[in-house]
Structure 1
Amino acid sequence: MIYDCAIVGGGAAGLSAALVLGRARRSVALLDNSQPRNAVTRESHGFLTRDGVTPSEFRHIAYAEVLSYPSVEHHAARVTDIRKLEAGFRIVMDNGVTIQARKLLMASGLREVLPSIPGIAEFYGKSLFNCPYCDGWELRDQPLILLAEQPRVYHAAKLLYHWSPDLVVCTNGSNVLTDEEKQVLTSRNIQVTDEKVAAFHGTKGKLEQVEFADGSRIERTGGFIAPQLLPQTDFRESLGYEMTEADGISTDATGKSTVPGLYAAGEAASGASMNLILAAAAGSMAAMSINVELMEEEFSS
């Protein structure tokens, strides 16, 4: 069979799109190998009626709802190749299965590359996080560290200050803060250091100390880091879609890309970290746009 739409990725964006299309009686192939970026996170926040839900529970509930619609099928596999056809797309998976679909939604999200610092993986998702909106409340008023090697560290520091003024900002050896920005931060009693972090110390995922390359240590109970974010899947060469400056798939407001029939939603389109509710909204919008495009094609044939 030829599906109305294939969705690559089973996060909030992909699942929301599958739900909308399933309810629209569209045949959907949901392609997801269950490797979400937020798998290390203990709780997800900011999603109404599900605040504090674990990522695994969120996916379990969402899959149960989505797959209750008979036209939605889940393929638990990794996509290895996608080709544009004259009318639609051919998708190859690592289990040897090949399918075709009239429309394609890329919702595979991003993967994180953490700074190369001993001990960081032990604390990431437990006392070190990426998004203040997701985990800032739980770390409020604690002694925190913000570690970022990108220019957005200045914005992140100002943002995080509202959750806890007891803040140390570390650029890990990168010269990304101007003298004026450092002055603004230090005027708020925010400590700023360019010293490289040598290691994180603590027990059972709970951060206790940050050790720097010069041998000095500071006591911190948590913090935020800015990992490098890369596309979970990259088919720009085979599909020819345009990219944004943030390395996301370029789309219009409805999720439509520069390639006919190809849509993108969530982090795959933004190229940046996105919380659940925004990703879900983007997936729903893209699905509605896909359904309208299918409808118009059916009425014009």
Structure 2
Amino acid sequence: MINNQKYDVIIVGGSYAGLSAALALGRAIRKVLVIDSGRPCNQQTPHSHNFLTRDGHTPAEISALGKSEVMKYPTIEFLADHVNAVSGENNDFEVFTAMGQILKTRKLIFSTGVKDLMPEIPGFADCWGISVIHCPYCHGYEYKDQITGVLANGDTAFEMALMIYNWTKQLFVFTNGKSELTDEQIQKLSARNISIIEKSFQTLIHTEGYLSSIRFTDGSSHFLNALYARPPFEQHCEVPKEIGCEINAAGYIQIDDLQKTSIPGVFAAGDNTSRFRSVSAAVAAGGKAGAFINHELVAEDQD
């Protein structure tokens, strides 16, 4: 089904970065389509923090409010769909969706986020974003002074433990197997009474995502309120990679200071481009992408 109208910008992904980009472009009176499949990575996180005016609100509440504000601008449209492919070049892209739509646009923004890859530990995925957490700035205050673990090894475990020690002194490092920490690192952690536990995980015991303990493969257990972890991830949408956007060594879409990818006319913003995963960072990146796309459109229209 071919849609004959041509958009100035199609935004793939309608969460915080995508909505923020749409807001900037709507206020620039650009014809914009936001395509979103409704699968945010933080969908089971109970509260979002560290974002001015909305601290403690649910991610869904913030998204819904953002969408309601963006929808006030008449040049912005929304489509509930999934983008399967993109072809073409700068100022002449075609976007193909799962529902059979073929849409034309001058520019593209991918604000598609990332997908966390859960370890094969029963209970981990159920607790992810609730009491198994990735960011002390987003969730640390709610677990301050509580019994907390770091699930990591080597340098990552050492760096995370030193950071999280500021939020709680009841801190343990779980290496889930043989420790890879150096003698010097172990000494520095021990000086702060941070214990290193090398036992292998069997399961996480929880109630509706809230941890109570870890059970180890030797049958023992350890009481715990919160567990920090950094599981691996993959891009939620493979289309940027498929059209040639450079992916850096860390697995993020490579962008420049203007949110441009390596493909002319294609921009990216949000968790798919940055280690700093927060609502505030995504909103800032989206607004920046929208503004610089508008500047690029203005410049091209003068040629």
Q: Same fold (TM over 0.5)?
A: yes
Q: Does 1:7 align with 2:16?
A: no
Q: Give the match for residue 291 of structure 1.
A: 294
Counterpart position of 1:196: 200
Q: Secondary structure at the match of 2:93?
A: strand
Q: How do 1:45-194 and structure 2 match up within 5 A?
A: 45-85=49-89, 87-148=91-152, 151-173=155-177, 175-194=179-198
| Structure 2, unpaired ranges of 5+ | none
Alignment correspondent of 2:211: 207
Does the Cα contact within 8 Å between 1:88 and 1:101 map onto a contact in 2?
A: yes
For 1:43, what is the secondary structure of its paired residue?
Answer: coil
Partner of 2:249: 245
Deviation of 1:157 (Å): 1.2
TM-score when normalising by structure 2: 0.94
> Does the Cα contact within 8 Å between 1:42 and 1:126 map onto a contact in 2?
yes
Question: What is the identity, as a one-letter code, of the residue corresponding to 1:223?
Answer: L
Preserved CA contact (<8 Å) 1:106 1:263: yes
Q: Does 1:257 align with 2:261?
A: yes
AA matched with 2:88: K
TM-score, reference length from structure 1: 0.94
Structure 2 counterpart SS, 1:267: coil
Shift of 1:121: 2.6
* In 2, Cα distance between equivalents of 1:273 and 1:36: 16
Relative to structure 1, the CA distance from residue 16 to residue 166 in structure 2 (aligned partners, 3 Å threshold; closer, same or farther) is same
Q: Is there any run of 5+ residues in structure 1 with no aligned partner, and where?
A: none
Code of the aligned partner of 1:75: L
In structure 2, distance between residues paired with 1:286 and 1:38: 22
Kindly, what percent of the aligned residue pairs are identical?
A: 37
Could you say what secondary structure the match of 1:13 adopts?
helix
Query: For the aligned residues, what is the CA RMSD?
Result: 1.6
1:274: which partner in 2?
277
Once the two structures are superposed, residues 112-165 of structure 1 have per-residue CA deviations (whole angstroms, 9 ceiling, x without a partner) of 111111122332233221211111000000001111357423221111111111
Q: Which residue of 2 aligns with 1:224?
A: 228
The size of the alignment, in residue pairs, is 299
Identify if the C-alpha distance between structure 1 residues 92 and 162 changes in structure 2 by more than 3 Å, giving closer, same or farther.
Answer: same
Distance 1:253 1:31 in 2: 24
1:100 and 1:50 map into 2 onto residues whose CA distance is 35
Q: Distance in 1 between matches of 2:240 and 2:95?
A: 14
| Distance across 1 between alignment mates of 2:90 and 2:18 | 25
Offset of 1:86 from its aligned partner?
6.0
Secondary structure at the residue paired with 1:146? strand
Give yes or no for contact 1:110–1:232 (8 Å, CA) kept in 2.
Answer: yes
The 3-state SS of whatever aligns with 2:177 is coil
Aligned letter for 1:161? Y
Q: What is the DSSP-based 3-state SS (H/G/I as helix, E as strand, rest coil) of the residue aligned with 1:198?
A: strand
SS at match of 1:181: helix
